[in-house]
Amino acid sequence: MAEQKTVVKTTGFVGPNSASDPVEIDIADGRPIRSRPLEYAKFATEDLNPWVIRARGGEFKAPEKSQPSLFGIAWKQRVDSPNRILHPMRRVDWDPAGERNPQNRGKSKYVRISWDEAMDILTSEVSRIKDQYGMNSIFVQSDGHHQVKIVHGARGCEGYALDLLGGYTLQARNPDSWEGWYWGAKHMWGQDPVGQGMQTNLFKDVAENSDDVLFWGCDVNTTTWGGGGQGSSRYCFFLRDIGVRQIYVCPDVNYGAAVHADKWIPVLPNTDAALQLAIAHVWMTEGLYDRDYIDTHAVGFDWFEYHVMGGDDGIEKTPAWAEPICGVPARRIKALARSWARRNVSIAHCNGGSFIRSTYSHEPARLEVALLAMQALGHPGRNQLKFMEFGLFGLDSQNPLPRPKFTPNMHDIMFPYHADKRESFVTEVLVPEALGGDYTPENPLTWYGVTCSGMPVADQFDLKRYPAEGCERIHMVWTDAPKWVSSWNGGNEFIDAIRSDYIETVVAQHIWMEDDCLFADLLLPVNTKFEERDIVCDTVSGAFSAVWLEEKATEPRGESLSDYEICVEFCRRMGVLDQYRNGEPIDETIRRGFEGSGCQWFTSFEEFEQNHGYLIPIAKNWEEDAPGFLNFYRDPEAYPLSTPTGKIEFYSQALAEHFPDDVERMPYPRWIEKGPWHPDERLTTPRAERYPFLMVSNHPHFRLHSQYDDAPWIREIPGCKVTGPDGYAYEPVWINPADAARLGIGDGDICRIFNDRGWTMGGAIVTERIMPQVVLQDHGARLDPIIPGVADRAGCNNTICPKHTASKNCCGEVTSGYLVGIEKVDVFELARQYPEAFSRPYDPETGTLHLQAMTADAE
């Protein structure tokens, strides 16, 4: 009989530190054979007090089983992906003792080397850089939506090790998920750290009190899969059953809209600010807002009114003015404004799409606060509901669902990294600039803020610089998150930068051969969480929070190690192992994690081990906490906001004082058509004659950012890929039938998507689900370079998004809502032009086999 066992693994990978979507995995003969939803009752050691929301005759209650997304089910396939890096490798023409050939990164192949040799290279390169330039010349890229591992996790392992040797320069994670809220809304309603509304008990409040929910740049059947599995969609079915109207405002009929929308209001990407101003105009001119609330809860409203009525720029922001800008007919804007003013309306987001990740994203975010304020934010049924929080940050009062009865905290066993405490760091959106640009201590790159998403608002007024005072520039890159090119802004510029002469050494530790790995000099093989024992804190699932003991499911593949184990070996060789978590055994760290989790008060470690985890009961009195901004609504003096005045600030004195000359983020929210930072990223600019479409690059329905692009079960789902006549599965690009007809593009045709930053490709899906003048291609397809730094075959569209930040003083990413052109291509002609790129080893189930393509041995 085959040896069988079942282990628990969490499979939602959106919370870098907070796990979610647990599944039970059956293992036979050392291989994971089946992943299935986990039955909570099996793991409960006491009464879980499952939450239930009763409203308007309906009932919505905690699920009995976990609700994993397709990612959770398909994950096990990635363990044996043909792109798994199984051994350490070195780029053939990179010789640390001789020629380094940085220009060949992305072109030249790799040879297998031993761990011994790899560690020799790594340790001697670190020592060399230290002696030659100082430790801050080593750049650590260690952030990203890794698999959630606590002990073995990538996040920060090498940084912690390098700190023992004197430091490093950190890639400081941006508030990528929240840019607009962070750079804009925070200045209106406070709400540190990320600038979104208070969430406590809002699922209950909306169910009880809202007439309508505006899903404004929100897809409850896609992005909520990143963490809370299917919970959000279930909740929306419940809203339907109890008669809450669901209105979607977005350029596309996204997957949530397709299932749940009562109404779709198409709006051109990143033009929401015009629509919002026109709504405010209707309310102002028709007296449809709560003037008393504004008087008692807000400051500076006159400035906003002045702008809406055209006092400052001579343009009255009427619905007729907004119509050509945002593509919503004036009559519809008026109808929406009037109906909104009569009813209890909440706005729902996951985070907001190009509404908040585009040029001047601080404006729509601020304008949303303005609109909510005009309709008495915090009044029952009038709040900002966050579906991302279907458990995310579920530890505290930010959770719209009932809370667990205590707060598990395992952060003490993770390696912390905080840019605000570092001598040297670079904000993530400026990485191509920092790596490739001509910066010196005398001529530094500067920007405002540490930018880490946890920072308080005052951080945005602090000027930062690279290279840091008295430090050399970066000469070595060590990454454990090699996905810059597919997940960040200005991918092609990144490729140019990583191939520059400045960068002498690039080390990547990764599981699969993909994306930035193609540009590394030294590759170190990492294993998946299936191959290790670990402890995780599950706070994002939305049903119950839990701490899980994830037993090893299968043996490590090839010679792979966990990120942590790699760094342990590195520290051993550098003579600092004793200081590296005291060199303690992993099982001991797991036990220590448990002891710091809060669970230790309720169960013993032995019991925890036996049960594979501990499920946290829901607090008995969860319904007592005031939902959202209710307290502020009732008594703004007793419950002030965290803004300088404690009120909603339509005019921010702080912005006025710190940035008196900023014409792009002024003290009050506005419509910014263009500005010095982005003179030509709108359909109204002459540049749009060459690139007449706005690109919407959503978070992928079929991936988690750059991950899962090789999972056969996902790739075979209709709509995931479009297979071309050459048999290659291209990333879909949605285009409206009117545009497609004009350009002679038919359904299934393969296209080139281009602008002056380069080009990528896509398989056309001609559909009414996308509005005219817009093309949609999800982000994160695995790079398949045709000409590195110029052209890509996979639909890795971050290669051609702007490198430039949200606005002059705001280091937000701009990864969606920018100009592109599209045209049909002949793939066979391209194959003749670029024979090497078009003849890479390929497997229809997983896509391009980059490992084979890039391995010299395989030839």
Q: Nearest to residue 123, comparing CAs of 634, 692, 625, 522? A: 522
> Does 104 participate in binding ligand MGD (rule CB under 6 A)?
no
Does residue 699 interact with ligand MGD by CB under 6 A? yes
Q: Please give the span between the terminal C-alpha atoms of the chain, in angstroms, as a whole number.
A: 41
Q: Output 177 or 271, the one with its CB closest to Mo ion.
A: 177
Q: Is residue 154 involved in binding ligand MGD (CB under 6 A)?
A: yes
Spatial CA neighbour of 773 closest among 287, 269, 358: 269
505, two tokens: 């050494």
List the one residue out of 158, 136, 135, 127 whose CA is nearest residue 417. 158
From 667, 571, 619, 637, select the one nearest 366 (Cα to Cα).
667
CB 293 within 8 A of CB 353: no
Query: Of the listed pieces 243-251, 435-443, 677-685, 763-771, which binds ligand MGD according to CB under 6 A?
Result: 243-251
Nearest Cα to 445, choosing from 424, 460, 459? 424
β-bridge pairing 722-723 and 729-730: antiparallel
Nearer to ligand MGD by Cβ, of 9 and 703: the residue is 703
Binder among 816, 846, 848, 855 for ligand MGD (CB under 6 A): 816
Alpha-carbon distances, residue 716 vs 710, 711, 721 (angstroms)? 11, 9, 8
How is residue 207 written in tokens? 């169910």
- Minimum distance from residue 180 beta carbon to Mo ion (Å): 13
- Least distance CB 223 / ligand MGD (angstroms): 3
Regarding 229 and contact with ligand MGD (CB under 6 A), the answer is no
Asked if 798 is part of the footprint of ligand MGD (rule: CB under 6 A), the reply reads yes
Closest separation in Å from C-beta 428 to ligand MGD: 8
Q: How far is the CB of 176 from Mo ion (least distance, A)?
A: 5
Q: Which amino acid, one-letter code, is at 342?
A: R
With CB under 6 A as the contact rule, the residue among 210, 383, 460, 706 that binds ligand MGD is: 706
d(CA 478, CA 648): 43
The helix or strand, by DSSP H or E, that contains position 61, with its residue range, turns out to be strand 58-61
Q: Are 36 and 96 in contact (CB under 8 A)?
A: no
CB of 695 to ligand MGD, least distance (A): 8
Chain centroid to CA 761: 23
Told to check if 510 binds ligand MGD by CB under 6 A, we report yes
The one of ligand MGD, Mo ion, none whose footprint includes residue 174, by CB under 5 to 8 A per kind, is none
Shortest CB 177 distance to Mo ion, Å: 3
Which one of Mo ion, ligand MGD, none interacts with residue 350, CB within 5 to 8 A by kind?
ligand MGD
Coil, strand or helix: which one is 385?
Answer: strand
Give residues 250-309 in contact with ligand MGD (rule: CB under 6 A): 250-252, 254, 267, 269-270, 272
Q: Which window, 289-297, 458-466, 476-484, 544-552, contacts ligand MGD (CB under 6 A)?
A: 476-484
User: C-beta of 288: minimal distance to ligand MGD in Å?
Assistant: 22
For ligand MGD, which stretch binds (CB under 6 A), given 92-100, 222-230, 307-315, 331-339? 222-230
Binds 698, which of ligand MGD, Mo ion, none (CB < 5 to 8 A, cut-off by type)?
Answer: ligand MGD
Closest to ligand MGD by CB, 67 or 798: 798
E strands present in 519-569: 522-525, 534-538, 545-550
Residue 146 touches which member of Mo ion, ligand MGD, none, C-beta under 5-8 Å by kind: ligand MGD
Query: Which residues contribute to the site for Mo ion (CB under 5 A)?
Result: 177
Q: Which amino acid is at 414?
A: M
Taking the complex as a whole, how short is the minimal distance between the CB of residue 777 and ligand MGD, in angstroms? 9
From the CB of 200, what's the least distance to Mo ion, in Å? 22
Q: How far is CA 371 from CA 282, 294, 846, in A?
A: 11, 11, 46
Binding partner of residue 213 among ligand MGD, Mo ion, none, CB cut-off 5 to 8 Å per kind: none
Comparing CB distances to ligand MGD, the nearer of 133 and 387 is 387
* Amino acid making up residue 313: D
By CB under 6 A, tell whether 480 contacts ligand MGD: yes
The site partner of 327 among ligand MGD, Mo ion, none (C-beta below 5 to 8 Å per kind) is none
Half-sphere exposure of 183 (CA within 13 A, CB side): 34
DSSP string, 735-793: E-HHHHHHHT--TT-EEEEEETTEEEEEEEEE-TTB-TTEEE--S-PPP-EEETTTEES
Q: Of 579, 530, 578, nearest to 553 (Cα)?
A: 530
Assess 542 for contact with ligand MGD (CB under 6 A): no
Of 362 and 769, nearer to Mo ion (C-beta) is 362
From residue 316 to residue 355, the character string flagging contacts with ligand MGD as x (rule: CB under 6 A) and all else as - is: ---------------------------------xxxxxxx
Q: Residue 189 corresponds to which amino acid?
A: W
Residue among 267 and 819 whose Cβ is closer to ligand MGD: 267
Q: Cβ of residue 680: shortest distance to ligand MGD, in angstroms?
A: 18
- Interhelix angle for 301-308 vs 272-286, to 10°? 100
Kindly tell me which of 372 and 615 has the beta carbon lying closer to ligand MGD.
372
Which tokens is 445 given?
């790159």
Nearest to 846 by CA among 731, 713, 724: 713
CB of 620 to ligand MGD, least distance (A): 31
User: Partners of 668 in the beta sheet?
Assistant: none
One of 483, 682, 769, 804 touching ligand MGD (CB under 6 A): 483
> Segment 168-207, which members bind ligand MGD (CB under 6 A)?
176-177
How far is residue 422's CA from residue 135's CA, in Å, rounded to a whole number?
12
Tell me how far apart the alpha carbons of residues 112 and 125 are, in angstroms, rounded to a whole number.
Answer: 19
User: Nearest-CB residue to Mo ion?
Assistant: 177
Nearer to ligand MGD, 468 or 481 (CB): 481
Binding residues vs ligand MGD (CB under 6 A):
14, 144-147, 149, 154, 176-177, 216-219, 222-223, 225-226, 249-252, 254, 267, 269-270, 272, 349-355, 357, 388, 480-483, 487-488, 509-511, 526, 563, 696-701, 703-707, 779-780, 798, 801, 815-817
